[in-house]
């Protein structure tokens, strides 16, 4: 008698499948860039530079992924990030300290998240209208604070900004023979920690499962005993909080504030989330996929520049084309899976 147990492999969920496709496309695209362009693509520092330049975008995209999984949208994240940057720059330049500036960033982000969450969840106003109003309000406040660019003039912050994490064994040897270690900014660590915490929350906590249930089918979520209004409220609070953190990381990267800071960040965050496998209709998405969605978006932009197409509109065209490709890919993959399930 054969007592050997046969283990049946569970099929990938829609979220896992779309995330896997994104990771595979990123790896394939980057390997192709290494073969065609070589140069910086052969060094690990290229990946670290992508993370250094997009740490704030990764954090904002995490918050937007939470909202989109729940079936909502938040287009104010870029403007809130800009407001946080300008507020913290002026605070530090007028005798403030680092801990106070961090608190200020979190308070601003939370304030917008709470107001948006309340209006959308409890007053049932359309998310697009509420967050559009929040976007204009934040941009207006940023302009009131200062129209001119402001550079941070604070010794302690300058020391914090200058701190880098060096990884010698991932470095490369320059033409003069010197070893240049790979360098990563502190903002990247903050971004990766945010990705990890959001991933744990979405995967292992009841709140995370509530976001998926609410985005998949609100009536079913109510029947499961989920407090939909509170869950939706929390999603916007988390989005606002992550926007505040993103603003501070953005300031650590640039060391300055400007009324046009983070312009278009909300669109890039939406694109990163969609490329990472998050559906606009809700119920499907993964923050790890969003991370690779951001890297994929950045890689295609670097490939465009390496191809000699330095005009900014080429990056916009390729971003739009990439977004359309992934939306079409998601539609095809999910429709085929739905047909197989019916069969």
Q: Which residue has the higher pLDDT, 242 or 219?
A: 242
Domain count for the chain: 1
Query: Which pLDDT band holds residue 253 (cuts at 50, 70, 90)?
Result: very high
pLDDT (mean) for 210-239? 92
Look at residue 195 and tell me whether its pLDDT is greater than 90. Answer: yes
Query: Which pLDDT band holds residue 340 (cuts at 50, 70, 90)?
Result: low
Pairwise CA distance, residues 192 & 177, whole Å:
32
In a domain, 338, yes or no: no
Q: Write the CATH number for 222.
A: 1.10.3470
In a domain, 32, yes or no: no
* Lowest mean pLDDT segment, chosen from 35-44, 64-73, 220-229: 35-44
User: Do the bridges between strand 150-151 and strand 164-173 make them parallel or antiparallel, or are there none, so unpaired?
Assistant: unpaired
Query: Which pLDDT band holds residue 321 (cuts at 50, 70, 90)?
Result: confident
Q: What pLDDT is attached to residue 1?
A: 44
**Based on the number of CB atoms within 10 Å of its own CB, is 3 exposed (0-12), middle (13-18) or buried (19 or more)?**
exposed
Look at residue 3 and tell me whether its pLDDT is greater than 70. Answer: no
Query: Which pLDDT band holds residue 192 (cuts at 50, 70, 90)?
Result: very high
CA dihedral 301, 302, 308, 314 (to 10 degrees): 10
Q: Which residue has the higher pLDDT, 177 or 98?
A: 98
Q: Which residue has the higher pLDDT, 72 or 40?
A: 72
In a domain, 336, yes or no: no
In a domain, 342, yes or no: no
Q: What is the mean pLDDT of the chain?
A: 87
In a domain, 33, yes or no: no
Q: What pLDDT is attached to residue 13?
A: 78
The set of residues, in sequence order, having a beta carbon less than 8 Å from that of 26 and lying 6+ positions away, is 292, 295, 296, 299
Q: What pLDDT is attached to residue 279?
A: 87
In a domain, 3, yes or no: no
Q: What pLDDT is attached to residue 45?
A: 84
**pTM of the shown model:** 0.91
In a domain, 200, yes or no: yes
pLDDT (mean) for 291-319? 83
Look at residue 168 and tell me whether its pLDDT is greater than 80. Answer: no
Closest CA to 13 of 202, 239, 205, 292: 202
pLDDT (mean) for 102-120? 97
Q: What pLDDT is attached to residue 304?
A: 83
Domain range enclosing 307: 14-26+42-330
Closest CA to 56 of 308, 307, 245: 245
Query: Which pLDDT band holds residue 217 (cuts at 50, 70, 90)?
Result: confident
Q: Are residues 120 and 232 in contact, defined by beta-carbon separation less than 8 angstroms?
A: yes
Query: Which pLDDT band holds residue 12 (cuts at 50, 70, 90)?
Result: confident
Q: What pLDDT is attached to residue 257?
A: 84
In a domain, 34, yes or no: no
């Amino acid at each position: 008698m054969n007592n050997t147990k046969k283990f049946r492999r569970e099929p990938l969920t829609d979220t896992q499948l779309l995330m896997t496709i994104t990771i595979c496309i990123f790896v394939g695209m980057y390997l192709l860039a290494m073969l065609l362009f070589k140069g910086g693509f052969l060094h690990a520092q290229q990946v670290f530079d992508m993370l250094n330049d997009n740490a704030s975008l990764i954090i904002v995209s995490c918050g937007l992924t939470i909202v989109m999984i729940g079936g909502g949208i938040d287009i104010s994240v870029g403007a809130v990030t800009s407001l946080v940057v300008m507020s913290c720059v002026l605070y530090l330049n007028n005798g403030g300290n680092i801990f106070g500036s961090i608190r200020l960033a979190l308070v601003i982000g939370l304030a917008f998240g709470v107001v948006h969450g309340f209006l959308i969840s409890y007053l049932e106003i359309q998310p697009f209208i509420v967050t559009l109003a929040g976007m204009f309000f934040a941009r207006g406040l940023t302009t009131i604070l200062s129209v001119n660019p402001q550079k941070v003039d604070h010794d302690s912050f300058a020391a914090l900004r200058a701190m880098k994490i060096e990884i010698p064994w991932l470095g490369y040897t320059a033409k003069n023979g010197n070893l240049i270690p790979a360098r990563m900014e502190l903002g990247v660590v903050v971004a990766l920690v945010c990705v990890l915490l959001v991933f744990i929350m979405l995967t292992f906590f009841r709140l995370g499962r509530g976001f998926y249930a609410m985005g998949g089918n609100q009536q079913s979520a109510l029947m499961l005993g989920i407090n939909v209004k509170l869950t939706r409220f929390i999603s916007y609070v988390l989005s606002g909080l992550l926007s505040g953190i993103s603003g501070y990381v953005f300031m650590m990267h640039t060391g300055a504030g400007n009324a046009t800071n983070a312009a278009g960040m909300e669109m890039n965050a939406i694109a990163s989330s969609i490329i990472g496998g998050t559906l606009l209709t809700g119920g499907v998405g993964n923050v790890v996929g969003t991370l690779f969605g951001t890297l994929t978006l950045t890689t295609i932009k670097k490939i465009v520049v390496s191809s000699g197409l330095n005009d900014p509109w080429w990056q916009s065209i390729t971003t739009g084309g990439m977004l359309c490709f992934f939306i079409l890919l998601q539609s095809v993959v999910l429709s085929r899976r739905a047909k197989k399930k019916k069969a």
